[in-house]
Amino acid sequence: MTAPTTTRFAPSPTGYIHVGNLRTALMNFMIARKSGGTFILRLDDTDQERSKQEYVDALMADLDWLGLHWDRVERQSLRMDRYREAAEDLKAKGRFYEVFESPVELDLKRKKQLNMGKPPVYDRAGLHLSDEDRARLRAEGREGYWRFLLNQSRIEWTDGILGPISIDAASVSDPVLIRADGQVLYTFASSVDDIDMGVTFIVRGADHVTNTATQIQIMEAMGGTPPQFAHHSLLTGPQGEELSKRLGTLSLRDLRARGVEPMALLSLMARLGSSRPVELAASLDELIAGFDIGSFGAAPTKFDAEDLFPLTRHHVQGLAFSAVQARIAALGVPADKAEAFWQVARGNITVLADLEGWWTLFRDGATPLVADEDREFISQALTLLPAQPWTHDTWGQWTAAVKEATGRKGKGLFMPLRKALTGMEHGPEMADVMPLLLKAPTL
């Protein structure tokens, strides 16, 4: 049996979460649940200016809507003392050092290195400053910030998706972990948290691979054991275009407002980019049971929001009446017609919000769609329409009477009558529609 795994989803509450965030959250959630482990929701809210409680509330609502329930919540903003303690420990071990270069100076250094054909890696000038040098720089009005001293060896791990990874630490700049204003940066806070919280598996985007290399050394310097890592591919648009700039329009709250169903969204994101076909799952438990992180590939993954709607339609049309009964009642559908209404409408909707349009049609009647050449025919047909209330047999009785009176038959008979009653060329069986129509049509 697989040992229980502890995973985490660590969003920054600086905006609404989108499909890219969901992919990370879902993978970590399923890994934890499949092993009977722990799923932590960790709020990366150290940026107090941009982090807002409204975004925390929104992301929790989004996860709850999807059924991705966390075992506990952690907030980095409440752990600042712990980060300071860990920083002091790494200073004492000689792994933190203070630097003073301005962004302009660093940019000049990088350009000089590139011109010389060298990689633009920080030259560790700050490592050689004396106490007198630092005092002089502070007297000049400069503020120091802190870098982590990497061991310039190869950093290696076996990635759950990418396979064996080997990064030469000498090709990476010593990362800045604490800014001049004292703000602890993600790379450090996350490393401290992952060790302290016993995180054993981390899934995140492929853009974090270099972060992972440095974090492995930070964790080891703290005396901790790094977790397993898996880096999923990044999402692109349907034509392979960069999606990151559009992710704001693909927030979960916007997709929910468009009527996308949770199981449609989960079913797509649980398989997108893997070797397994996307299929609508019956439940989250079914997705968890079939999840395999090793089935995902490294290539950029195309995402098209429109793919969510066939899945949503499939899910919605398969719902039992009991699942939609309250929603139908809220539309004002009489109780004695509610189940018949659902059976008629269900095959003609994509999202549940489409039900409102069908009930408006049945309640208020449609604007008849009548061709000029059919106007006299329809006028005569309406005089033969039985009085309400109508039953399932009314359509057959009426069309038979109209056929006998006018001589019309086939499509020339049925289509104009359908269009006159519903204002549409296509739709549910008219025998099923007739008992639901509360108003007789008039020309």
pLDDT tens for the chain, 443 residues long, are 468 999 999 999 999 999 999 999 999 999 999 999 999 999 999 888 889 999 999 999 999 999 999 999 999 999 999 999 999 999 999 999 999 999 999 999 999 999 999 999 999 999 999 999 999 999 999 999 999 999 999 999 999 999 999 999 999 999 999 999 999 999 999 999 999 999 999 999 999 999 999 999 999 999 999 999 999 999 988 888 877 656 666 899 999 999 999 999 999 999 999 999 999 999 999 999 999 999 999 999 999 999 999 999 999 999 999 999 999 999 999 999 999 999 999 999 999 999 999 999 999 999 999 999 999 999 999 999 999 999 999 999 999 999 999 999 999 999 999 999 999 999 999 999 999 999 988 87
Q: Is residue 441 part of a domain?
A: no
Residues 250 and 310 in one domain: yes
pTM above 0.75, yes or no: yes
Q: Are strands 176-178 and 163-168 parallel, antiparallel or unpaired?
A: unpaired
CATH number at residue 306: 1.10.1160.10
380 CB contacts (<8 Å, ≥6 apart)? 402, 405, 406
Q: Is residue 323 part of a domain?
A: no
Q: Is residue 1 part of a domain?
A: no
Q: What is the DSSP letter of 185?
A: P
Residues 10 and 58 in one domain: yes
The pLDDT assigned to 1 comes to 44
Q: Is residue 416 part of a domain?
A: yes
Residues 97, 275: Cα–Cα separation, whole Å: 45
Q: Is residue 274 part of a domain?
A: yes
The pLDDT assigned to 244 comes to 65
Residues 290 and 370 in one domain: no
Residues 425 and 396 in one domain: yes
Residues 14 and 147 in one domain: no
Residues 65 and 96 in one domain: no
Residues 342, 331: Cα–Cα separation, whole Å: 12
Q: Is residue 142 part of a domain?
A: yes
SS3 letters for 279-316? CCCCCHHHHHHCCCHHHECCCCEECCHHHHHHHHHHHH
Domain boundary among 220, 236, 252: 236
Q: Is the dihedral of CA 112, 117, 122, 124 positive or negative?
A: negative
Helix, strand, coil percent content, the chain, rounded in steps of 5: 50, 15, 35
Residues 351 and 417 in one domain: yes
Residues 394, 389: Cα–Cα separation, whole Å: 9
Domain count, the chain: 4
CATH number at residue 13: 3.40.50.620
Range of the domain at 137: 81-178
Residues 67 and 135 in one domain: no
CATH number at residue 146: 3.90.800.10
Residue whose C-alpha is closest to residue 401's, from 413, 389, 392, 411: 413
The pLDDT assigned to 246 comes to 61
Residues 219 and 249 in one domain: no
| Residue 404 CB neighbour total at 10 angstroms | 10
Structure token digits, residue 32: 């934890």
pLDDT digits (tens, 9 = 90+) for 38-54: 999 999 998 888 899 99
Q: Is residue 94 part of a domain?
A: yes
Domain boundary among 259, 284, 317: 317
Residues 232 and 256 in one domain: no
163 CB contacts (<8 Å, ≥6 apart)? none
Q: Is residue 183 part of a domain?
A: no
Residues 363 and 412 in one domain: yes
Residues 339 and 306 in one domain: no
